Amino acid sequence: MSSHGEFTHGRSMRMRLMGVTLALLGTASANASEQPDAKRKFVPAGWTVEKEIPGDLSGDGVPDAVLMLVEDGHRNPTDEAGRTLVVLAGRRDGSFEQIGMSKKLLLCLQCFGAMDGGPALSIQRGVLIVDQLTGSRETASGVWRFRFDPGSKRMRMIGLDVRKTDRATGVSTFDSTNYLNGKRITESLRYDKTKDKDVVVGKKAGSVGTAPIFLEDVDAGPLE
């Protein structure tokens, strides 16, 4: 075969191989795009993911996920529909398992009063933080902290800070509880105009039980 014939034959082979490669890549891409979201199975029918927070809660380096769900048809802030919190641990094969769920912790769409807004969720250093503020003249804010418990494979509450304030008088109370060591600190505060900040006018220590409290057992009652 002439050199020209060899060149033509080689080029034809390369083109055919390239076509097969592109076809395979196209098929792989199509299959990837058709793969259902592994987290979707944890969303009940009639509910939608309002917010999703990624992070590593179990400490294994595999991405986990926190889902805030809202019932379909309840997007108006005046609706009384509640929210559901779902915590998922990622597995190395791409699947997920539920390690926490609460229908009672997140405030409903119209429960924030004049403060408006909604639940603020974050994952910091492996700890799930739920931050909520409600009220108008009298406000109540709560910061819940949860950490993955390897023994039970559930989300355990490790801390709660609750602050209640009368914005008209500038008087506040602040409770900070550590559920790992059972210590609670309660402070009374008042706003000092000259210093332009809250100052502590009273402080006392207390204690609580250290039996594990899991996400399923927690509600927003401390804000009442």
How far apart CA 128 and CA 124 sit, in angstroms, is: 7
Position 79 confidence tier, pLDDT thresholds 50, 70, 90: low
Give me the mean pLDDT over the 171-188 stretch. Answer: 98
Taking 3-state DSSP, the helix, strand and coil percentages for the chain, each rounded to the nearest 5, stand at 20, 45, 35
Q: Residue-wise over 57-95: b if at least 16 C-beta within 10 A, else e?
A: bbeeeeebbbbbbbbeebeeeeeeebbbbbbbbbeeeee
Which has more pLDDT, 176 or 37? 176
- 3-state secondary structure at position 32: helix
What are the boundaries of each domain within the chain? 1-35, 40-223
DSSP state for residue 214 in the 8-state scheme: B
pLDDT tens track for 181-203: 999 999 999 999 899 999 999 99
pTM: 0.80
pLDDT tens track for 149-164: 999 999 999 999 999 9
Give just the sign of the alpha carbon dihedral 179, 184, 185, 186.
Answer: positive
Q: Is the pLDDT of residue 8 over 60?
A: no
pLDDT tens track for 11-30: 454 445 444 343 433 433 33
Look at residue 108 in the predicted model and tell me its pLDDT: 82
Ranking 42-46, 61-65, 75-79, 189-193 by mean pLDDT, the lowest is 75-79
